[in-house]
Amino acid sequence: MENSEFHSGFICVVGRPNVGKSSLINLLLGQKIAAVSPRPQTTQRVQLGILSDDDSQMIFMDTPGIHKPLSKLGEVMNEAAIDTISDADCVMWIVDISVKPNKEDEIVFQRITAGAKPENVVMVLNKCDLVNPNQLAENENFYKKLLPDAKRMNVSCRTGAGIPELTAELKSRLPEGPAFYDPDQITDLYEREIAADLIRESLLKNLDDEIPHSIAVRIEEYKDRTETNSYINATLLLDRESHKGIVIGKNGEMIKKIGQDARREIERLTDRKIFLELRVKVMKNWRNDENLLRQLGIKRPDD
């Protein structure tokens, strides 16, 4: 890592909710570090994904989807995403090319242009496998009008199309400089924080409608019992009493399924045997409790 030709830099990954930001980060890194689900707002805080090789280190800043906030939680998520734009060496704007830009895409555009130069933006047109060539060209033209000076690249997180070309483009934009992290490090989060995100992912996949967004995950204990075995105790914080029965399910079947799915993902990531214990607690209006949000690691940029 003493090579004078070494390049390193920070790449801010932005976009509206549910366009595939975390999926793309996982694909670029070649392994899962970020929670993914078909639901919007799976990511609630900025997470680093670190990709190192012999002559470069790309540090991806995976951000919450920029959206119109309805609570303190939404405000903090937006602020965290927006703050990274001006600090980045490059901005990677992920859009869903299978549809035309909507109001939330326009909000992202406004935030990008307020904090970055258009030539520093790479617009990643994700989900290109979902549209035919004519529709692809038509939709791309709409996005081109928003930011004509940005580099545009077609990719598919589902098929892997365009990923090598995107990696090369991003690497070419890194400034010369030393590595910021150990080459073996792939993220800045601790295992307990990743475990909380993977439990949220399981909630989003197993529960209907808006219920998962009204649940916070608090890790009470994360303990390595042996070299190959860990114990995790987590509390699911609900803001409505009426959701408690839904989350637990008949005879505890739902919370058991949530725990099984989360445990499987945590074991895959940590390569350890996990004993996961989940509890449910009602804490009304937690999404507007900034002290609790800080405890959960969801902070404003200046905190």
Please report, for the domain that includes residue 230, its CATH number: 3.30.300.20
Q: Is the CB of residue 179 less than 8 Å from the CB of residue 150?
A: no
Same domain? 136 vs 254:
no
Q: Can you tell me the mean pLDDT for 123-131?
A: 95
Q: Is residue 222 part of a domain?
A: yes
Same domain? 100 vs 50:
yes
pLDDT at 141: 95
Same domain? 12 vs 119:
yes
The residue segments making up the domain with residue 273 are: 191-295
Comparing 43-47, 258-262, 271-275, the range with the smallest average pLDDT is: 43-47
Same domain? 145 vs 16:
yes
Contacts of 42 (CB under 8 A, 6+ apart): 18, 22, 35, 36, 200, 201, 204
Separation of alpha carbons 63 and 43, rounded Å = 7
pLDDT at 231: 95
Same domain? 204 vs 135:
no
Q: Is residue 195 part of a domain?
A: yes
Q: Is the CB of residue 270 less than 8 Å from the CB of residue 187?
A: no
Separation of alpha carbons 215 and 240, rounded Å = 9
- Residue 153 burial (CB count, 10 A): 18
Same domain? 31 vs 95:
yes
pLDDT-based confidence at 38, cuts 50/70/90? very low
Same domain? 23 vs 93:
yes
Same domain? 153 vs 281:
no
pLDDT-based confidence at 70, cuts 50/70/90? very low
Q: Can you tell me the mean pLDDT for 43-50?
A: 72
Q: Is residue 300 part of a domain?
A: no
Helix ranges restricted to H, 62-177: 72-87, 103-115, 133-146, 163-172
